[in-house]
Amino acid sequence: MELQSLIYLFVGVSFAIYIGIALWAKAGSTKDFYVAGGGVHPVANGMATAADWMSAASFISLAGIISFMGSAGGAYLMGWTGGYVLLAMLLAPYLRKFGKFTVPDFVGDRYYSSGARLVAVIAVIFVSFTYVAGQMRGVGIVFSRFLQVDVNTGVIIGMAIVFFYSVLGGMKGITYTQVAQYVVMIFAYMIPAIFLSLQVTDTFIPQLGLFATTTFEFHDGVRVIPEGTYLLHALDQSLADLGFTEYTNTGNLWNVFMLTTALMLGTAGLPHVIVRFFTVPTVKDARISAGWALVFIAIMYTTISSVAAFSRVNLIKNVQNVEYKAFVNGELTHADGTPNNGAWFKTWENGGLLAWTDRNGDGKIQYAPDAAFVGGKPAFDGTNVGIHGERVTTNAKPAANSGKIENELYVDRDIMVLANPEIANLPNWVIAFIAAGGLAAALSTAAGLLLVIASSISHDLMGQVIFKDPETGKSKLNEKSELMWARLSAVVAILIAGYLGINPPGFVAQVVAFAFGLAAAAFFPTIILGVFDKRMNKEGAIAGILTGLIFTFGYIVYFVFLGGDKADYFLGIAPTGIGTIGTILHLIVAFVVSRMTPPPPQEIQELVELIRIPSGAGAAHDH
């Protein structure tokens, strides 16, 4: 079957499954809508958490980022998995026992303050919108690359699908859709990874491929690395030959440390992850569920580390010193006689994610560390082609890099995953599967985030602040009208997310810094203190949250948007890792302020006692 029809088929079938699940799992109550009725099996919840967690960025970009970062990329791998250990031991069981619906719920009740709840609601909404805009953008990008539709049309199609199952099914619909999305996503990721591993190292399991030897004579443009060399030796050697930093070079360990910490704390503090543990029946299930979530995440994350190394080897092997014209026309072979068909290169060059400029005039592609295109990205003139058939760019010619190999190649990191099946000459259905997988990754994360936004608005803002009965302290909304508000909030959230996906503001590109940094600095400490420090009071909590939020937000804005100079970094910490310092400041300020102000009321201290004991969690109860 034609590639295009196969892609329509795979994406169409997966969408039909999601919609079918949404119809089956319709939410009948607010409890269904917020926490899927509180009866999700821990393994199913683990799978849903993994799908919720692994975003379009994990699926499409992460292997590419690590491919170019090498060893230091471990910060992302450790950071985005290690947080689950904190979640399992320090948050999930107690929050499950607490048994409410949202993170602001916990903050508002534990710190007996509507003000604290309001600050938490605002932070949840900002963090989640930053994150969701990137997901909607991801949906649009996958659509535009694989289905030949405009990015904006892609975003609108994505909105329609998410709309269907999150507005109708709430958390219940989302949870079971995410289970299906995890399955689609993991197969889509593993199949090309296994093929790649077989091709480069003749090893079936990609994780073990790192320990294997190369299956080919590796011509890196400077020397020939013989077949049977250990993969990472071959990679380090070729990168050194071309003037790159070696792959296993450890990088700036101080920033790796800070980034890893910020990502771990942020992971444990992200509301859309935390809320998933409200959906299981008991405290013990919450613990187990965190374990299963990490198992499902680990399958993909440990594969990512291998895919990153394989694809860097593959890139050099396939493009270094090959004649451009013959390469893209499919006329070349490797030294061992296997074809080296560069049709994929042309496809992605047409998409603007690859570019080549013949700096030394030899008609061959050279790949090296310096910038081939002044300004970083290629600016295509849109109409002209060069003498070899390449797309002409209007970038200024870079200064000669005498004595060294001059780089002539621009590679967008995203293609390291997306183009892999084409580079490896895999059958068309694998490429179709990747399209469905990328969409599953983006949609599952988007839905989880939208739900968190919707429930923060309907449950916390409407129910606990705006429609709060001042006499009884309870919500004036009845079950039915709160469910209606929840659906309405979901609709509004989807519309805003779609708008942000079509017109992405600058902060969306800083999702790692903003979402993780703020989740780490605002939520993680306040929840931990709420459980582990009985003496923590309202004053300490509010002071802590505000300190963490304002410091982290201010630091990122100053250095990313207001032109702050790298030389002025606090202790040399990049904005992506500053959440770590925000968290520490939060803890210190909260502790000091709480000890200088009166202890929390007796009933709050009793509430903390209760949260610490697992039995009697029952189902998440309503107010």
List the one residue from 260, 318, 458, 489 that touches other proteins (CB under 8 A): 260
Candidates 226-234, 439-447, 481-489, 548-556 — which segment interacts with other proteins by CB under 8 A?
226-234
**Is residue 192 a contact partner of residue 420, using CB atoms and an 8 Å limit?**
yes
CB closer to other proteins, 122 vs 295: 295
Q: Could you give the angle at the alpha carbon of 29 between the alpha carbons of 26 and 32, nearest 5°?
A: 60
288 touches other proteins (CB under 8 A):
yes
Q: How far is the CB of 96 from other proteins (least distance, A)?
A: 11
Q: How far is CA 109 from the centre of its chain?
A: 30
609 touches other proteins (CB under 8 A):
yes
Helix axes 103-110, 538-556, angle to 10 degrees: 140
77 touches other proteins (CB under 8 A):
yes
Nearest CA among 203, 154, 199, 224 for reference residue 420: 199
What's the CA gap between 286 and 137, in Å, rounded? 32
List the one residue from 64, 73, 173, 548 that touches other proteins (CB under 8 A): 73
282 touches other proteins (CB under 8 A):
yes
What's the CA gap between 134 and 511, in Å, rounded? 8
Long-range pairs of 387-396 with CB within 8 A, sequence gap ≥ 24: 388/324, 388/325, 388/358, 388/363, 389/324, 389/325, 389/328, 390/324, 390/349, 390/355, 390/356, 390/357, 390/358, 391/349, 391/350, 391/355, 393/355, 393/357, 395/357
Q: Which of residues 237-256 bind other proteins (CB under 8 A)?
A: 248, 250, 253, 256
Size of the site for other proteins (CB under 8 A): 52
What's the CA gap between 38 and 49, in Å, rounded? 14
Candidates 76-84, 132-140, 186-194, 558-566 — which segment interacts with other proteins by CB under 8 A?
76-84
Candidates 326-334, 429-437, 487-495, 615-623 — which segment interacts with other proteins by CB under 8 A?
615-623
**Is residue 313 a contact partner of residue 200, using CB atoms and an 8 Å limit?**
yes
Tokens coding 424: 């490896």
Candidates 70-78, 104-112, 191-199, 321-329 — which segment interacts with other proteins by CB under 8 A?
70-78
Q: How far is the CB of 81 from other proteins (least distance, A)?
A: 5
What's the CA gap between 394 and 387, in Å, rounded? 15
**Is residue 51 a contact partner of residue 179, using CB atoms and an 8 Å limit?**
yes
> Exposed e or buried b for every residue in 466-478, given b needs 16+ CB within 10 A?
eebeeeeeebebe
Q: How far is the CB of 390 from other proteins (least distance, A)?
A: 35
152 touches other proteins (CB under 8 A):
no
Q: For strand 218-219 and strand 224-225, is the pairing parallel, antiparallel, or unpaired?
A: antiparallel
205 touches other proteins (CB under 8 A):
no
Candidates 113-121, 317-325, 365-373, 614-622 — which segment interacts with other proteins by CB under 8 A?
614-622
Q: Could you give the angle at the alpha carbon of 60 between the alpha carbons of 58 and 65, nearest 5°?
A: 75
CB closer to other proteins, 502 vs 608: 608
CB closer to other proteins, 306 vs 420: 306
Candidates 72-80, 349-357, 431-439, 565-573 — which segment interacts with other proteins by CB under 8 A?
72-80
List the one residue from 147, 240, 298, 557 that touches other proteins (CB under 8 A): 298
How far is the CA of 511 from the CAs of 116, 191, 574, in angstroms?
Answer: 24, 29, 14
Q: How far is the CB of 292 from other proteins (least distance, A)?
A: 9
List the one residue from 29, 144, 213, 321 that touches other proteins (CB under 8 A): 213
Residues forming the site for other proteins (CB under 8 A): 66, 71, 73-75, 77-78, 81-82, 84-85, 88-90, 93, 207, 210-213, 229-233, 248, 250, 253, 256-257, 260-261, 282-284, 287-288, 290-291, 294-295, 298, 301-302, 305, 609, 612-617
